[in-house]
Amino acid sequence: MSLLQELGAQLRATSDELPTGLVTVAMERLRTATDLLNWVRQTSVDPLGVPTLGNATEHAEHAAAALRLSQDAIAAYLGVLGLSADAGAPPDRDWRAGLDDEIKPAPEPDATPPPPGKLGPWWQARVEKLTGEAPPHPDQVTSDRKPVNTSDLLRRVAAGVRSGDRAKLGRDLHAVTADTGLALSAVTPPVLRRLAGDLLGHEPRPEDLARLRTAAAERVRALLPGTPPAVLDTLLARICQAPAPATAPAHPADSAVTSSVLTGVLLARLGRDAATLDPAAPEPLSRRDGDA
């Protein structure tokens, strides 16, 4: 390997190691927390820390933008060196960050486990509103049902969407606590952007908004008949980095549930199953890879 090739390899490795995925997930978690507090403070005169969270989200957005600019600059420099052909940009792997349970800090051995979430009742009520599926009767809930984390829940929802089983979709969403369900809002944005890019054959752009809406809107609304249209429009606009419609603060569960169903719809359009959302799974083949 020549000195120039070694330099290119080091630059590519540096670009790949930039924590863009982790910063993106942190940004989305802050955004989710802000949406939740915005909803809560509609009935309170206390701002409840929303301005502080807004500032933190803005800082995270700047950090994510700076990381992506750094990656673009490295790619441009490699092109100037004549290494762009063998340095072809690897697939966007940010989507794995939110689904990887290993990024969560392990509890201390002797630490007291945190109390279970106490927001369950309103979560179940909103899931029923969105899906039209009532929560199961307590007698129908088996005691040996294992708890699931957010990435497991996303895979279950995606599987239910692909099969078109709205009853299963409702059961899976009803079976979790609010904190697990709300976290869908944080882990799905990188996944959605990657899936949309694979469907379109390029990184989603504002002019792709109508095409994505045509590809997904009808199926999402069939599975979530109670979802306000503006929720899906906002999610699609964020994927395409287009201006989002100006609307009143939505219920915090709406974005979480709709984004998970949209993930399943895009997976189905690509002919993939829910197992491809496992961060340990092989990198899925995209249209760009196929064209190459």
pLDDT tens digits for 281-290? 777 665 554 4
Say how far apart CA 46 and CA 241 lie, in whole Å: 32
pLDDT of residue 203: 87
Q: How sure is the predictor about 119, in pLDDT bands with cuts at 50, 70 and 90?
A: very low
Decide: 14 and 74 in contact? Cβ < 8 Å.
Answer: yes
Read off the DSSP letter of residue 110: T
Domain chopping of the chain, boundaries: 1-90, 93-102+119-292
Structure-token pair, residue 120: 């369950």
Decide: 3 and 81 in contact? Cβ < 8 Å.
Answer: no
Structure-token pair, residue 225: 């008949």
Read off the DSSP letter of residue 77: H
Phi-psi group of 180: left, alpha or beta (phi > 0 → left; psi -120 to 50 → alpha; rest → beta): alpha
Q: How sure is the predictor about 225, in pLDDT bands with cuts at 50, 70 and 90?
A: very high
